[in-house]
Amino acid sequence: MKLDNSNGKLCALTNSSADSFPADISPPHNHDDAEEIFVPPLNFAMVDNGIFRSGFPDSANFAFLKSLRLRSVICLCPEPYPEATLEFLKTNRIRLYQFGIDGCKEPFVNIPHDIVREALKVVLDDRNHPLLIHCKRGKHRTGCLVGCIRRLQRWCLSSVFDEYQRFAGAKARVSDQRFIELFDLSCLNHHPLSFSSSKK
């Protein structure tokens, strides 16, 4: 397996000559034997066991996504889902949950609490795992949802904000962090937590 890392460089062990292969392993003889390249989506990361986050995946990421054996995808963008990606999900029996949140810029950011609450219910149901959460860039909308997950995991706010800022970078929004801090989790208290850090 070859993995294309975030810098766009291939990470793979190579051998300078056929003599360097062990006696029982032969090098590929033609291009038909070339290995598949696995390219993660933009801003891809593991949130917890069975939960991943990223920017909007495209066809270059399909082999990588297939390796995750996803059951579900949560899309936080309101735009129609690309046909090629829909076909990939259908072929691999991956269920799409689309919760449309407009990608507004400050100071006109309006994150609907009810939509985030419904998305969290999908995340909390481990029958949907493994699961990928994504928006366009994997920064703001995804960051808000993951921030609420971290609060459910009882992370301290400084750690929640550190993680949010690591993905948002220079485009971190005070309004997003305020949303995460003030989001009412009380209606989700009756949902069982299946996260690794909640079992400690």
> Both ends of the chain: CA-CA distance in Å?
34
State the pLDDT at residue 11: 42
Confidence grade of residue 57 (pLDDT, cut at 50, 70, 90): very high
54 neighbors 44 (Cβ within 8 angstroms): yes
All residues at 6 or more sequence positions from 199 whose CB lies less than 8 Å from its CB, including other chains: 193
Is 77 in the active site? no
- Please give the average per-residue pLDDT across 107-125, as a whole number: 84
Alpha-carbon distance of 7 to 22, in angstroms, equals 31
User: Residue 33 is encoded by which pair of tokens?
Assistant: 């034997």
Alpha-carbon distance of 167 to 115, in angstroms, equals 22
Closest to 200 (Cα-Cα) out of 154, 145, 149, 157: 154
Label the pairing between strands 2-4 and 37-38.
Answer: parallel
The verdict on pTM exceeding 0.85 is: no
Is the pLDDT at 199 greater than 60, yes or no? Answer: no
Which residue in 75, 77, 135, 148 is the catalytic one? 135
Residue with the bigger pLDDT between 109 and 130: it is 130
On average, the pLDDT of the chain sits at: 81
Residue with the bigger pLDDT between 26 and 60: it is 60
